[in-house]
Structure 1
Amino acid sequence: MSHAIETIDLKKNYGSHAAIRGLSITVEPGTVFGLIGPNGAGKTTTLRMLLDVIRPSSGVARVLGETPQAGGPALRRRIGFVPGELRLEGRIRGRALLRHYAEISGQVAPGAVDDLADRLGVDLNREVRKLSKGNKQKLGLIQAFMHRPELLVLDEPTSGLDPLVQREFLTMVREARANGQTILLSSHVLSEIQQTADQVAVLSDGLIVAEGDVAALRLGRIRRVRASFTGIAAAALRQELDHLPTLRDIDIDVTGTEPVRLTATIDGDIDPLVKLLARHSVLDLAVEEPDLEESVLQLYGSSANGRNGEVRHG
C-alpha cells in the first residue's frame, strides 16, 4: 500500500527567502499525523503545496499516490481541507453554502450535513455574514468532513471554537481514523496533538527538527507551576527548590507576608516538586501546559540552528 502523503526534499523559496528547506515526510494511510512548530516555521506553506495551492520550488510531493499538480480536481475531491485563515462571507445561508461545496467535493450521504451541524452546534439557516468566527469555523469543518474524504488536511482547525466543540472535533478525528481516513493536522494546541496524533513532525525555520510520537518528542514534559502556601519563609523555600534540577525560571513572592506564592517552569518529572510542596501547607496548586509554540522553542529551538538543523527522534 502506498503512502497517503510522501514528500522528498520538498523546497519552497520566495525570492531569496527559503520558506521550506528540504522537507521529507511520509504519512501512512489511516493515521493522524501532527505537523507542529512555531509561527513562520512553514506549516501552512507545506499544506498549500500538498494541495497545489502553491507550487514547490523543487522536490517531490505525492498525495494519495498522485502528484498534486497531475491529480487536479479529481484528486482534490478526495481531500477535505480546512485552511488556517478561513474566510466565509455573503448573504448566502449556511445550508446553501454547504450544498454548493457538496456539488464540488462529491457525493454527501443523506443526513450527514445535519448530523455534523447538530454535533458542532451551528444553525445552518443563518446567513454566513451574520455568523461568529467560531460558527464560520464550524461550517469549514462540516464542508471538510461531510463527504468522508480519504484525506483530511486541517490547518489550525479549532481556531475560534469553545472547549466543548473542540472536544467534539477530537471525537470526529478519532472516528475518521477508525473509518480508515488519513488526517494531516497542523495545530498550536498541544492537547489536540497529544490526544489524536499517531506521529508528529516538528517544523522550525522550514526544516524538520524532530519527528516521532508525542511521548518520544517529550512535548508534554514542560509545564508551568503556580502554588501558594503557608508555613515557610520565601528564602527557605528558595533554598529547597534550588535542589530540584528540573525546576527553572523560579519566581517567589518576597513581600514577606503570607501566603508565599511560587511560579516556576518544570522540565521533566513533576513528582519531586509535588513531594517537596506536600511538606508544607499548600493553599492552591496549578500545573499548566505552556502553549505549543513555547514548548517547541524550548525543546527544539536550538536544533534548528545546529548542523543542517535536523535532530530526529523516535
Structure 2
Amino acid sequence: MAVVQTKNITKRFGAFTALDGVNMELNEGEIYGFIGPNGAGKSTTIRILLGMLKASAGEAQIFGKDVWKDAVEIHKRLAYVPGDVNLWPNLTGGEVIDLFVKLQGGTKNSRREELIERFDLDPSKKCRTYSKGNRQKVALIAAFASEADLYILDEPTSGLDPLMENVFQQCVNEVKAEGKTVLLSSHILSEVEKLCDRVGIIRQGRIIETGTLDELRHLTRTKLVIETKQPVPNIHEFAGIHGISGENRRWSFQVDTEKLDDVMKYISSYGITKLESAPPTLEDLFMRHYEGNDPSGGRRNG
C-alpha cells in the first residue's frame, strides 16, 4: 500500500519553477532516501507533503488523503523533523518534547525516557541554552516518542556528532521493524546508503532516478587497482575504462559495471598478480548524475 504518493507535482514561485513534475511513491514499512544538493527541490517537496505549501499543479496524497485539504488529519499520524529546529526559548527541552507528543494525542511514556537517555539530552535545561545539536535531539526524541505511522525527516542529523548519528540510525531501523514508513531527505550519502530501501535522486526540481540501491548500481563504476606480470597494451583505449592512472604493469582506474567482465578477461590474459576492487557506492552514482550540465539530467542507458 502506498503511504505517500505524488503525481506530477509542480511548484512555481513567479517565473521560477522549483518543482517540475515530481512523482514519488513510498510504500508501507519502507525507508525512502530523498537525495539531492541544496536547491534541488527536496525541502519544497516536503513542505508540500506537510501541507505548508500548495502545489501549483499535480496531486499529492498521504494515507490516501489530500495533503492540502486533509493536512490536520494527516498530521495526527505523522512526525516531522526539520534540519534546522527552532524551539520556544523559555521552555525546557522536556516540556517541548511533552508538548509535541501531546499534540499528536500521546502521553508521557517510557519510550520518552529511554530516548532522552540514548540521545544523552538534559531535558531540564531551557531551550535557549541548547546548541544546534541539542535542539536537533529534542525534535528527534519528540518524533520517535510519538506513535506516528510516517516519519518525514529533512536533514535530521544536522549538528549531531557521529555517536548520536548512530543512535539516530538505530531509531530509524526500530520504527521500520514496527512497520512504519520513513522519508529521509539527506545529503549525507553514507547515511542514506546504510538505511534506505529505495532512493530517489532529485535535480533541478525533477526526480531523475529512483530505485533500490542494487537497481541503481548498474549505473556506477567499480574501482580497480591491478598489477600484472606483463605490460597491458592499449589499456587507455579499452571501452568502459575511466580515470586511468599508472603505467607499465600497475594501473588504477574505474570500470563501467556492464563492461567489467570484458575488461577482466582482457587484463587477465597478461597475468594478474594483484587485484583490489571497491564496489560502487551511492556517492559514485550521485556524482555521475551531477557532473557536467547534461540537460537529460545525467540519464544513461544500461
TM-score band, normalised by shorter chain: 0.7 to 0.9
State yes or no: 1:299 paired with 2:289.
yes
SS at match of 1:145: helix
**Separation (CA, whole Å) in 2 of partners of 1:192 and 1:220:** 20
Cα displacement (A) at 1:87: 2.3
Pair 1:247–1:118, CA change in 2 (3 A) = farther
Cα displacement (A) at 1:39: 2.0
What residue number does 2:59 align with? 60
Residues 117 and 123 in structure 1, CA contact (< 8 A), matched pair in contact too: yes
What residue number does 2:70 align with? 71
SS at match of 2:70: helix
* Structure 2: stretches of 5+ with no match in the other structure: 226-230
State the one-letter code of the partner of 1:160.
G
Residues 29 and 180 in structure 2, CA contact (< 8 A), matched pair in contact too: yes
State the one-letter code of the partner of 1:206.
G
Pair 1:267–1:192, CA change in 2 (3 A) = farther
Cα displacement (A) at 1:92: 1.9
Residues 98 and 142 in structure 2, CA contact (< 8 A), matched pair in contact too: no
What residue number does 2:40 align with? 41
State the one-letter code of the partner of 2:113.
D
- Report the TM-score, using the length of structure 2 for normalisation: 0.80
Residues 10 and 22 in structure 1, CA contact (< 8 A), matched pair in contact too: yes
Pair 1:219–1:140, CA change in 2 (3 A) = farther
Pair 1:119–1:13, CA change in 2 (3 A) = same
Cα displacement (A) at 1:203: 0.7
**Separation (CA, whole Å) in 1 of partners of 2:119 and 2:219:** 28
**Separation (CA, whole Å) in 1 of partners of 2:234 and 2:299:** 35
- Percent of aligned positions with the same letter in both sequences? 30
Pair 1:135–1:290, CA change in 2 (3 A) = farther
State the one-letter code of the partner of 1:299.
H
**Separation (CA, whole Å) in 2 of partners of 1:155 and 1:161:** 14
Residues 188 and 291 in structure 1, CA contact (< 8 A), matched pair in contact too: no
What residue number does 1:231 align with? none
State yes or no: 1:17 paired with 2:16.
yes
What residue number does 2:206 align with? 207
State the one-letter code of the partner of 1:125.
S
State the one-letter code of the partner of 1:205.
Q
Residues 116 and 142 in structure 1, CA contact (< 8 A), matched pair in contact too: yes
Residues 6 and 59 in structure 2, CA contact (< 8 A), matched pair in contact too: yes
Cα displacement (A) at 1:148: 2.3
Cα displacement (A) at 1:32: 0.9
Pair 1:264–1:71, CA change in 2 (3 A) = same
Residues 33 and 198 in structure 1, CA contact (< 8 A), matched pair in contact too: yes
List per-residue Cα deviations over 1:121-179 (Å, max 9, x = no partner).
Answer: 21111222222221211111112111120100001111111222212211111111111
List per-residue Cα deviations over 1:71-102 (Å, max 9, x = no partner).
Answer: 23232121000112222351321101112212
Residues 88 and 136 in structure 1, CA contact (< 8 A), matched pair in contact too: yes
Pair 1:98–1:304, CA change in 2 (3 A) = farther
Residues 246 and 266 in structure 1, CA contact (< 8 A), matched pair in contact too: yes
Residues 240 and 255 in structure 2, CA contact (< 8 A), matched pair in contact too: yes
State the one-letter code of the partner of 1:58.
A
**Separation (CA, whole Å) in 2 of partners of 1:93 and 1:266:** 54
State the one-letter code of the partner of 1:53.
M
**Separation (CA, whole Å) in 2 of partners of 1:220 and 1:129:** 47
Residues 38 and 297 in structure 1, CA contact (< 8 A), matched pair in contact too: no
Aligned residues: 296
SS at match of 1:70: coil
Residues 28 and 179 in structure 2, CA contact (< 8 A), matched pair in contact too: yes
Deviates further, 28-37 or 191-200: 191-200
Deviates further, 68-77 or 170-179: 68-77
What residue number does 2:134 align with? 135
Cα displacement (A) at 1:63: 0.7
- Report the TM-score, using the length of structure 1 for normalisation: 0.77
What residue number does 2:111 align with? 112
* Structure 1: stretches of 5+ with no match in the other structure: 228-236, 253-261
Cα displacement (A) at 1:68: 1.4
What residue number does 1:26 align with? 25
Residues 33 and 200 in structure 1, CA contact (< 8 A), matched pair in contact too: yes
What residue number does 2:177 align with? 178
Pair 1:55–1:35, CA change in 2 (3 A) = same
Cα displacement (A) at 1:109: 5.3
Matches of residues 274-285 of structure 1 in structure 2 within 5 Å?
A: none
**Separation (CA, whole Å) in 1 of partners of 2:88 and 2:222:** 39
